[in-house]
Amino acid sequence: MLKLMKRPHLILSCRTFYVTPKNNCEDEPIERLSCVEEKIGFIGDGNMAKAIFKGIVNKCLIQPNQVNVSSPYIKNLDVWKEMGACVSTDNAEIMEISDVVFLAVKPHILPEAIKNIEKSPHAANIKNKLFLSILAGYKISKLEKMLSCFEGARVVRLMPNTPMMVGAGCTAFCPGHGVTEHDLMIVRAILEATGICHRVPENIINAVGALSGGGPAFVYLMIEALSDGGVRMGMHRAMASKFAAQTVMGAAKMVLETNKHTGQLKDEVCSAGGTTIAGMHELERGRVRGSIMNAVEASAKRADQLGGQ
């Protein structure tokens, strides 16, 4: 609260929530910001950076001109300029002019992306930055070591997903050393404006990445397969795809809003001797459950490899 006294505009825009801690969650009662005044930078301008940008701008948490973005090819940054962001091919410049810096490159690119920044003329002004890493696999200790050349650098490791773009994201985060209460307020403001988030211990972040970080891809495959099945049985593609997506969204809402066990919800659809149980039998024969569990396990193990653990 002491820090907020110096920032009266933030006190005016605070709401207080309490999130009940659950297994694997380390959520704390904390004041919430309804707008973020800091400059937000993205090192890397790919799919995930765009999803976060669109998600927070759509919710008016920030204005587009608060955002700075860098990546190697100026032509690729035109789309960001059109959206109102400030762009550069110089990662050091974007770090200098931003308060909060998303590290949004592919994991194997990070060393190259920050390699020469220390020697750049901008380096002296890269102080007291909050770095938000969305990189799969990279441990906080490794990131803190890589960024230790920047005075006052703090790191929060996040595992987001692309549905943040449409306000339906799902992110776990884990703060590193020296992260302040105000840093956490910024992190929560960004993540809650774009979906749900929970603070977790770092040792489960790779599991989260496998389930919800990459999970949308698994679900798109399922939607496509449902749609293909509908087409095979005579539906037109456009209708089949729309019905498949709406069905997945409806089923997800039932799980989230009825509080019923998924097994019970499944039983409520399967009539005795009916149509759905005939389809369920095929899915079980195809070992769909085991395949999905294996997919999550393989993704989590790959994240361990990417992080060199």
Ligand X SMILES: O=C(O)[C@@H]1CCC=N1
Q: Where are the alpha helices (DSSP H) in 60-139?
A: 78-83, 91-97, 110-114
**What residues contact residue 256 under an 8 Å CB cut-off, 6+ apart?**
none
Contact flag: residue 295 with ligand NDP (CB under 6 A) = no
Binding mask 182-221 for ligand NDP (x = CB under 6 A): -------------------------------x--------
* Binding residue (CB under 6 A) for ligand X from 114, 136, 193, 240: 136
Residue type, 142: K
Query: 163 or 230, CB closer to ligand X?
Result: 163
Among the listed residues 137, 80, 91, the one whose alpha carbon sits nearest the alpha carbon of residue 113: 91
To the nearest whole angstrom, how small is the minimum distance from the Cβ of residue 107 to ligand NDP?
A: 5
Query: 163 or 176, CB closer to ligand X?
Result: 163
Euclidean distance between CA atoms 110 and 136, whole angstroms: 11
DSSP assignments along 267-299, one per residue: HHH--TTSHHHHHHHHHHHTTHHHHHHHHHHHH
Query: 112 or 297, CB closer to ligand NDP?
Result: 112
* Binding residue (CB under 6 A) for ligand NDP from 19, 30, 83, 109: 109
* Binding residue (CB under 6 A) for ligand NDP from 68, 98, 161, 299: 161
Contact flag: residue 134 with ligand NDP (CB under 6 A) = yes
The count of residues interacting with ligand X (CB under 6 A) is 4
Cβ atoms within 10 Å of 292's Cβ, excluding its own: 14
Among the listed residues 286, 295, 121, 128, the one whose alpha carbon sits nearest the alpha carbon of residue 220: 295
To the nearest whole angstrom, how small is the minimum distance from the Cβ of residue 2 to ligand X?
A: 37
Cβ atoms within 10 Å of 187's Cβ, excluding its own: 23
To the nearest whole angstrom, how small is the minimum distance from the Cβ of residue 214 to ligand X?
A: 4
223 with 250: CB under 8 angstroms? no
User: Which residue has tokens 């006294």?
Assistant: 5
Query: 31 or 93, CB closer to ligand NDP?
Result: 93
- How many helices and strands (H and E) does the chain possess? 14, 10
Using CB under 6 A, which of the segments 33-41, 102-110, 240-248, 265-273 binds ligand NDP?
102-110
Euclidean distance between CA atoms 309 and 255, whole angstroms: 34
Contact flag: residue 209 with ligand X (CB under 6 A) = yes
| Residues that bind ligand NDP in the complex, under the rule CB under 6 A | 43-49, 70-73, 76, 91, 104-107, 109, 112-113, 134-136, 159-162, 213
| Residues that bind ligand X in the complex, under the rule CB under 6 A | 136, 209, 213-214
